[in-house]
Structure 1
Amino acid sequence: MKLTIASRNPKSTKFPITLELEGTPETIKVQDVALAIEKKFPKYYPDRQRLTDLDKKALDVDKTLAEAGVVDGPQIGWRTVFLIEYGGPLLIHPIFYYASKLFYGADFQHSPMQTTVYYMCMAHFLKRELETLFVHRFSHGTMPFLNVFKNSGHYWLLSGINLAYWVYGPWFAAGKAASVRSDVWLYGSVAVWAWAELSNLATHITLRNLRPAGTRRRAIPFGYGFDLISCPNYFFETIGWTVVCFLSTSWSAWLFNIVATGQMYVWAVKKHKNYKKEFKDYPRNRKAMFPFIA
């Protein structure tokens, strides 16, 4: 199998290198990789090496590559993965919204609440697609192709089919008591949601500006949102979806939001710990995702 080894130093002139090893991830050990590097660069004998995964966690030399999380097979770029993930809801929501008779057996007029939530969801995922194309810079190059199905399931099923089916149904149609929203409720929700979305975009731009194109440089983020928490992008994302929950009052929106927030909190805690470990001068007053809480 072919294995690419990159250096943590973006200015390295020797790395990345590509090694060709006989065997599979199940038979090749991390120690074998270290010996192959030594063969190519004799001065880098195994005791002088520190092999890590993309999260900079040291690999156990006695484990196989498979045990260390290295897999063989077709790869797909992370940018493409995100485009596929967010593209699902962009296709699914219009189908449920405009083809009501196909799914609910009858035509009906959507309520102002349903129309507002529809445009919120479409704008959110369109924003995510544009950020993927023009804002985000990815430290990880590729991932196993089959993982795209697992990653997309969350968006295509929970924020796609599940959310669209239950929010755009006849039980929330115009004239139904369950769909009635006061102007304060409706327009107030839009205002808070728009603030959360724009705040999320601002934090993404801050993170982009920390990493020059073509590098994996890491630095401490400062500025709007980052003074209190390490991952304000996740915090603002949660606020945006919580607004959708209160506006729609649908259990499907709450289900997606709870699952998404839980996953983002796990990521936030991991990133927060990595920041503190990597940067000795990292601000001590910051929490991971929720200001003053955690």
Structure 2
Amino acid sequence: MKVIVSSASRSPLLKNFPLTLDLAPSATVADVKAAIAAKAPKLSASRQKISVVGDKKPLADDSPISVTGTELAVKDLGPQVSWKTVFLVEYAGPLIIHPLVFHLPRLFYGNDVKHSNLQIFVYAFVVLHFLKRELETLFVHRFSHATMPLGNIFKNSAHYHLFSGLALAYDVYRPKYGANSPYVHGTVRDSPEFLWVGAAVWLFAELSNLHTHLTLRNLRAPGSRERKIPRGYGFTWVSVPNYFFETIAWLVICFMTNSIAAWVFTVIAVGQMGLWAVKKHQAYRKEFGTSYPRGRKAMIPFVF
């Protein structure tokens, strides 16, 4: 079967296009990508977006060419980086920044800070949260796409490094929240009961978030592309309970400190998670149709 592949972007790697590929009748889009990479080694399969000529919608790797047609276009997506690498870099930022600000206050504030129990609790919450994320990236998450454009690592990392990293750390470890500050000393923020109740709610949210990730991982066997409806704890109410539980965890920090940096980060994060949740919810309903539970909301139980 002859397949003609033309260029859909201005890239020096596509200067010899169009190409004519000789493929088996059972060939898929993945076979097209492999054949292109064989002829243009620098254009790896992960850099390629294959579509039908005149249609920008990308074709899935398992789409058979006998159905998609033999006139295709390839777009160079540019240098790629693995999703796992992106996640590891994103979460490493706060894990480096928070200890620096917490343990070296003179470097950031010009004087030492006697840390309050509130600051110690928040420090533990943040470090454990991002350490959990790093471990989930290494041992729990399976990524439906192997790579993303290299430039995205800078955009994605900025959100975590600047907002949940530098801004949050600088705000909550400053003298205002210190042990001798009237904002904390002698107030509810200095109460062990208040701190431990906050810690209990935070731990519930983090463990529930982890449980959700493990449920999603167990939906598919390694190497399988079969998709199933997620069910069980959390999924009774919403399509993406991991976002719901993460929201609770960050709200605990917001209410315990009333830090403007914590609120700004949480509002931005929840807004973005809400967009992703709606998209995922709609995708589930489209894919599974009437089989998908009708009573589920996208992210917040009984709300949306």
TM-score w.r.t. length of structure 1:
0.81
1:101-140 to 2 correspondence within 5 Å?
101-140=106-145
Query: Are positions 1:16 and 2:21 aligned together?
Result: no
Q: Measure, in 2, the Cα distance between the counterparts of 1:33 and 1:282.
A: 30
1:227 is paired with a residue of what secondary structure? coil
Q: CA deviation at 1:205?
A: 0.2
Whether the 8 Å contact between 2:278 and 2:298 is mirrored in structure 1 is yes
For 1:215 and 1:124, how far apart are their aligned partners in 2? 30
Question: CA RMSD of the aligned region, Å?
Answer: 2.9
Cα distance in structure 2, aligned partners of 1:151 and 1:108: 31
1:143 counterpart SS class: strand
Larger % of strand: which? 2
2:88 matched to 1:83?
Answer: yes
Q: What letter is aligned with 1:270?
A: K
Asked whether the 8 Å contact 1:137–1:211 carries over to 2, the reply is no
3-state SS of paired residue (1:226): coil
Q: Give the secondary structure class of the aligned counterpart of 1:196.
A: helix
Alignment-derived partner of residue 54 in structure 1:
none
Quick one: which of 282, 289, 292 aligns to 1:282? 292
CA distance in 1, matches of 2:145, 2:101: 35
Q: Counterparts of 1:15-94 in structure 2 under 5 Å?
A: 16-17=30-31, 18-20=34-36, 30-31=52-53, 44-45=65-66, 48-49=67-68, 70-94=75-99
Please list the CA deviations of residues 100-133 of structure 1 after superposition, one character each: whole Å capped at 9, or x if unmatched: 0001000121111001100100000000000000
Q: Deviations over 1:169-191 (max 9, x none)?
A: 11111111212422221110000
Give the structure 2 partner of residue 244 of structure 1: 253
**How far did 1:212 drift?**
1.4
Task: Among all aligned residue pairs of Structure 1 and Structure 2, give the percentage whose two residues are the same amino acid.
Answer: 52
On the 8 A contact 1:71/1:144 being kept in 2, the answer is no
Structure 1 gaps, min length 5: 3-11, 38-42, 52-60
Contact 2:29 2:65 in 1 (8 A): no
User: What code does the residue aligned with 1:31 have?
Assistant: V
Task: Tell me by how many angstroms 1:29 deviates.
Answer: 7.1
What is the CA distance between 1:217 and its match in structure 2?
A: 2.7
Task: Give structure 1 regions of 4+ aligned residues with deviation exceeding 3 angstroms.
Answer: 12-15
CA contact (8 A) 1:242 1:257 kept: yes
Whether the aligned pair in 2 keeps the contact of 1:245 and 1:253 (CA below 8 Å) is yes
- How does the TM-score come out when normalised to structure 2? 0.79
Correspondence list, 1:227-238, <5 A = 227-238=236-247
How does 1:193-272 map onto structure 2 within 5 Å? 193-272=202-281
